[in-house]
Amino acid sequence: MPRTERRFDGYAVLITGAARGIGAATALRFAREGAQVAVTDLDPEAPERTAAEIREQGGAARAFTCDVGSRESVEAAVASAAEAFGRLDVLVNNAYACSPDATRFEDEPDDVWARDLDITLTGAYRCSRAALPHLVASGRGAIVSIGSVNGLQDYGNHAYSAAKAGLVSLTRTLAGHAGPRGVRVNLVAPGTVRTPAWSNRGADVDVVRDLYPLGRVGEPEDVAAAVAFLASRDAAWITGVTLPVDGGLTSVNMGFRHAVR
């Protein structure tokens, strides 16, 4: 694999939703820094592609099926990863569901609301619950969840945004519980990132770049770098925080600046 700092030699890392996009980039980042990576996803074949790419680059990875909507599936994936690697040091909660809003709020169906919250928020809860004993045993455990600027400000998507906001709260409360047990819990909140979620719906992600003070949308590797930092000993005295990784979107109102020029 390309030479880079190896902060995770001897670590085992489990990542949900790691078949593509931010999850795959994060898996590759951890592997480049020396970690053994459990690549998990709902699709039984998709995570193997990411794991194979890691192995082709000289890293160590195993692929596991994990449906974060199922307690049994989550517990099986965590147990399999811990058995395969002999330990588990880091959990990255990346799996999510994001459904389009109904035209009118009052027309939102219950099942859409329930699915987005169950996969995005309760899925992270299930994974954290299953992984926590292993993370405690490691003596250097860390949980990093992938939130969103949608959980901080209004960018649409009622259910998805509510779920991401819930992750911010879960990060704080779990940090308070897990800190005395030696486990840190943090969250990154990405802005617009160039992932298959955009290309699959035929959208041009770059149409929003002028809203970003840094003049571009994010790349999956931008988020992966922040996740690796928060999981590493470089962040040994950081827990319970939400770190925006958003090119300045939530700090600077570029739309207003353009309007008043």
pLDDT tens figures, 51-75: 999 999 999 999 999 999 999 999 9
The parent domain of residue 79 ranges over 12-259
The C-alpha angle 227, 15, 97, rounded to 5 degrees, equals 95
Residue 221 predicted with pLDDT over 80? yes
The C-alpha angle 247, 248, 251, rounded to 5 degrees, equals 165
Tokens of 213: 């003070």
Q: How many domains does the chain have?
A: 1
Is residue 35 in some structural domain?
Answer: yes
Residue 33 predicted with pLDDT over 80? yes
Give residue 4's pLDDT: 66
Supply the CATH number for residue 224's domain: 3.40.50.720
160 is catalytic: yes
Report the alpha-carbon distance of residue 90 to residue 224 in Å, rounded: 14
* Beta strand segments in 66-163, E: 90-93, 142-146
Is residue 85 in some structural domain?
Answer: yes
Question: Catalytic pick from 11, 96, 125, 164?
Answer: 164
164 is catalytic: yes
Give residue 152's pLDDT: 97
Is residue 6 in some structural domain?
Answer: no
Is residue 4 in some structural domain?
Answer: no
Stretch 75-103: mean pLDDT: 97
Is residue 45 in some structural domain?
Answer: yes
Enter the DSSP assignment of 33. T
Question: Catalytic pick from 96, 125, 160, 212?
Answer: 160
pLDDT band per the 50, 70, 90 thresholds, residue 5: confident
Is residue 3 in some structural domain?
Answer: no
Whole-model pTM above 0.85? yes
Tell me the CA end-to-end span of the chain in Å, nearest whole number.
48
Is residue 243 in some structural domain?
Answer: yes
Is residue 215 in some structural domain?
Answer: yes
Report the alpha-carbon distance of residue 57 to residue 2 in Å, rounded: 8
Give residue 210's pLDDT: 94
pLDDT tens figures, 142-169: 999 999 999 999 999 999 999 999 999 9
Average pLDDT across the chain, whole number: 95
pLDDT band per the 50, 70, 90 thresholds, residue 86: very high
pLDDT band per the 50, 70, 90 thresholds, residue 196: confident
Give residue 1's pLDDT: 54
